[in-house]
Amino acid sequence: MHVYEHSVLLDESKCTGCTTCLKHCPTEAIRIRDGHAVINPDRCIDCGECIRVCQNKAKKAVCGKLADINRFKYKIALPAPTLYGQFDNLDSVDYVLSGLLKLGFDDVYEVSKSAELVSAYTRMYLNTEGIVKPVISSACPVVLRLISLRFPSLSEHVIHMLPPMEIAARAAKERALRKNPELSPEDIGAFFISPCPAKASYVKNGFGSYNSAVDGVISISDIYFPLIGLMKKTDSPEVASESGRIGIGWARSGGEATAIFNDSYLAADGIDNIIHVLDQVENGNIPPLDFIELNACTGGCVGGVLTIQNPFIAKARLQTLRKYLPIAQNTVDSDVEYIPESYLFEDMPEYHPMSRLGKTIAESMRMMADIQRIKAELPGIDCGSCGAPNCRAFAEDIVNGNATENDCPIKAFRLNSRKEN
Amino acid sequence: MSEELIFRFNVDGDDFTSAGQASVQVKKNLRQLGIDAETIRRVSVAMYEGEINMVIHAGGGVAEVRVTDEYIEIVLDDHGPGIKNIEEAMKAGFSTAPDTIRSLGFGAGMGLPNMKRYTDEMHITSTVGVGTKIVMRVNI
Ligand SMILES: Nc1ncnc2c1ncn2[C@@H]1O[C@H](COP(=O)(O)OP(=O)(O)OP(=O)(O)O)[C@@H](O)[C@H]1O
Ligand code: SF4
Ligand SMILES: [Mg+2]
């Protein structure tokens, strides 16, 4: 069986077994067992909500460390545009890029540069005959996983174009080989500087039969302080940014969608909003649209859980940074008629339904009937004391053999007090 | 036929913001049963339209979904004003929705025709001043 490698983990020693993450997990993937949280890997979509809400810092993102880059002879940084919005009084992206070189990278390749090309090809894609509209963006890995677990009927809407991070990794490696003919491909490591654990999962697991070209993922929060120190020491930057407004705009919700240059789009952000939108799309209950951009994080990637700045402040900073930039610095020649193969992926991952109860419909129906019966007898106050996020989920756990009715302390208490009277 | 499962929902006629919630819940339940995605989509589209109609035209009602091993049946029952001419109401584009409703994006007159299109069977019984009952079936 296919095993999905996650990037959100629990530090048991810090977990107090409170019910905060339990209540916030959008896929009900968390249970409290033996006094601490347990994440069900089949349901987890790596959205990072639990990391965000945990007061005890017991939920962690598993990303690479900066030292990992030393595995490679030639190290390339692939900064997400979100990184640019993290700094006070920054007037040019060039300082960030130069700082990354000082940090130990041999080269930097901006993901926003590739994002501009992805935008250009997306416009072409939208004019392709036979595509299923609305086309859904493939950039946020949480959305991709959500679709493959829960909205299989929307798979064919997903744009079969690789996300900018992947395009950047490939282009950066090609450029490195061109500039340094003495290198062989194994010498080169490309590291994404990431706003979220979801990207780390994408890199580890690939997508369908596609294997990521990224060699490691390092979080923005991990490199932030060393980077800022090095940026302060930079008087005249040694590299120049090659991104325009479109590329940098990808860091916030709406940036990708507005770059299709027509107003037939929808851009939604925040995990609950995107689930709602996907539900409505599945019902056909949206106006005819060309494109749908979905970001699991509030505000888009600027709201990623591994960033430093508040998303709205980061957004405002990006606004200032972009102001005097050209619309785009990367364009596709007008005589290009086809999207290059290297931009496309072939197949969506298999559908792994996360919630199926039994092996057959008949078995599932029997189980569902049991769930209804058990749930009707529970207190219905959704307190979480049983370790499940609500009474219905608890009833499901009982029927699935993962809990017993005695795990509900309220019910046990009521039964006891009845006996005493 | 061996067993059947019933999901019952009160559709609140005063609350526009929650309109459509029953069909989202039904979708979740059907997924848990392992019903195929296309069938789920048909049930959910048809039910959503019916639910919205109950809210807009009838002040709410009761929605019941019965799952058997052969079909999924959606029963929508309300005590609204009833439908005067069912044949006319079934025509694509026919709507009595007032402007206030249209400004919310409803009232294209496509609800009933879509319910028919997405289901294998549909029966409407309605009495003016008493209410409307719509039964739809999607075969598994
Ligand atoms: N439950 C109901 N009770 C009373 N009248 C109804 C009910 N359902 C539908 N109707 C009548 O039938 C007409 C057509 O319904 P239909 O769902 O096709 O269109 P609509 O609701 O007006 O617009 P749309 O569904 O496209 O938003 C309605 O305008 C209304 O007059
Ligand atoms: S919105 Fe951006 S930062 Fe958030 S999970 Fe998706 S890709 Fe990562
Ligand atoms: Mg209608």
CATH number of the domain bearing residue A367: 1.10.15.40
Q: What single letter denotes the amino acid at residue A210? A: Y
From residue A113, alpha-carbon distances to A44, A82, A122, A165 in Å are 31, 13, 15, 10
Closest to A38 (Cα-Cα) out of A53, A52, A25: A25
C-beta atoms of B33 and A365 within 8 A = yes
Closest to A324 (Cα-Cα) out of A237, A262, A248, A257: A248
B10 CB burial (10 A radius; 0-12, 13-18, 19+): exposed
In terms of domains, do A338 and A382 share one? no
C-beta atoms of A356 and B33 within 8 A = yes
For residue A316, give its domain range.
Answer: 66-343
B5 touching A, CB under 8 A? yes
User: Which pLDDT does position A346 carry in this prediction?
Assistant: 84
DSSP E strands in A228-327: the ranges are 265-269, 291-295
ipTM of the complex: 0.78
In terms of domains, do A208 and A308 share one? yes
A57 CB burial (10 A radius; 0-12, 13-18, 19+): exposed
B17 touching A, CB under 8 A? no
In terms of domains, do A217 and A160 share one? yes
User: Which pLDDT does position B1 carry in this prediction?
Assistant: 45
In terms of domains, do A234 and A379 share one? no
Q: Does residue B57's CB lie within 6 angstroms of at least one atom of ligand 1?
A: yes
Number of residues that this document lists for chain A:
421
Ligand 1 mean position to B122 CA, how many Å?
15
Residue from the list A152, A283, A357 with its beta carbon closest to the beta carbon of B33: A357
pLDDT in tens, A100-111: 999 999 999 999
In terms of domains, do A267 and A175 share one? yes
Q: From the first residue on, what is the mean pLDDT of each consecutive set of 10 residues in chain B (140 residues)?
A: 82 78 89 89 92 91 94 96 95 89 81 95 96 96
Please compute the mean of the pLDDT values over residues A37-59 and round it to a whole number: 93
pLDDT at A345 over 50: yes
Ligand 2 mean position to A298 CA, how many Å?
9
Per-residue tokens: A138: 């493939």
A332 touching B, CB under 8 A? no
Residue of chain B whose Cα is closest to the Cα of A278: B24
Please compute the mean of the pLDDT values over residues A346-364 and round it to a whole number: 82
Assigned CATH for B5-139: 3.30.565.10
B24 touching A, CB under 8 A? yes
In terms of domains, do A419 and A324 share one? no
Local confidence band at A120 (pLDDT 50, 70, 90 cut-offs)? very high
- For residue A22, being part of any structural domain is answered with no
In terms of domains, do A72 and A134 share one? yes
Give residue limits of the domains in chain B.
5-139
CA distance A270 to chain B (A): 19
Query: Average pLDDT, whole number, for chain A?
Result: 93
Q: What single letter denotes the amino acid at residue B75? A: V
A360 touching B, CB under 8 A? yes
C-beta atoms of B27 and A356 within 8 A = no
Cβ contacts of A360 on chain B, cutoff 8 Å: 34
Q: Is A104 strand, coil or helix? A: coil
In terms of domains, do A214 and A148 share one? yes
Per-residue tokens: A338: 């086809």
End-to-end CA distance of chain A: 53
Cβ contacts of A285 on chain B, cutoff 8 Å: 20, 45, 48
Domain boundary among A284, A311, A343: A343
Q: What single letter denotes the amino acid at residue A285? A: N
Q: Determine what percent of chain A falls in helix, strand and coil, rounding each to the nearest 5.
A: 45, 10, 45
In terms of domains, do A384 and A324 share one? no
In terms of domains, do A277 and A338 share one? yes
In terms of domains, do A376 and A332 share one? no
**How many angstroms separate the CA atoms of A130 and A195, rounded?**
35
DSSP letters, A269-288, are ESHHHHHHHHHHHHTT-S--
- For residue A36, being part of any structural domain is answered with no
Local confidence band at A282 (pLDDT 50, 70, 90 cut-offs)? confident
Q: Which residues contact A32 (CB under 8 A, 6 or more apart)?
A: A17, A19, A22, A38, A384, A387
Closest to B38 (Cα-Cα) out of A20, A205, A351, A7: A351
Cβ contacts of A153 on chain B, cutoff 8 Å: 37-38, 40-41
User: Which pLDDT does position A419 carry in this prediction?
Assistant: 67
CB A222 within 8 A of CB A65: yes
- For residue A224, being part of any structural domain is answered with yes
Q: What's the sign of the alpha-carbon dihedral B58, B61, B67, B68?
A: negative
In terms of domains, do A408 and A316 share one? no
Please compute the mean of the pLDDT values over residues A67-72 and round it to a whole number: 96
Residue among A146, A361, A366 with most chain B CBs within 10 A, to mutate: A361
- For residue A84, being part of any structural domain is answered with yes
Domain boundary among A320, A343, A366: A343
Residue among A151, A155, A275, A279 with most chain B CBs within 10 A, to mutate: A279
User: Which pLDDT does position A246 carry in this prediction?
Assistant: 95
pLDDT at A417 over 90: no
Residue of chain A whose Cα is closest to the Cα of B69: A362
Q: Does residue B80's CB lie within 6 angstroms of at least one atom of ligand 1?
A: yes
User: Which pLDDT does position A333 carry in this prediction?
Assistant: 82
Per-residue tokens: A419: 């006996």
**How many angstroms separate the CA atoms of A198 and A336, rounded?**
33
Please tell me the total count of domains within chain A.
Answer: 2
Ligand 2 mean position to A218 CA, how many Å?
14
C-beta atoms of B5 and A369 within 8 A = yes
- For residue A141, being part of any structural domain is answered with yes
Q: What percent of chain A has pLDDT over 90?
A: 79
From residue B81, alpha-carbon distances to A101, A179, B3, B54, B76 in Å are 72, 77, 35, 10, 14
Per-residue tokens: B45: 């589209």
pLDDT in tens, A159-215: 999 999 999 999 999 999 999 999 999 999 999 999 999 999 999 999 888 999 999
Cβ contacts of A353 on chain B, cutoff 8 Å: 31, 34
Which ligand 1 atom is nearest residue B108's CA?
Answer: 26
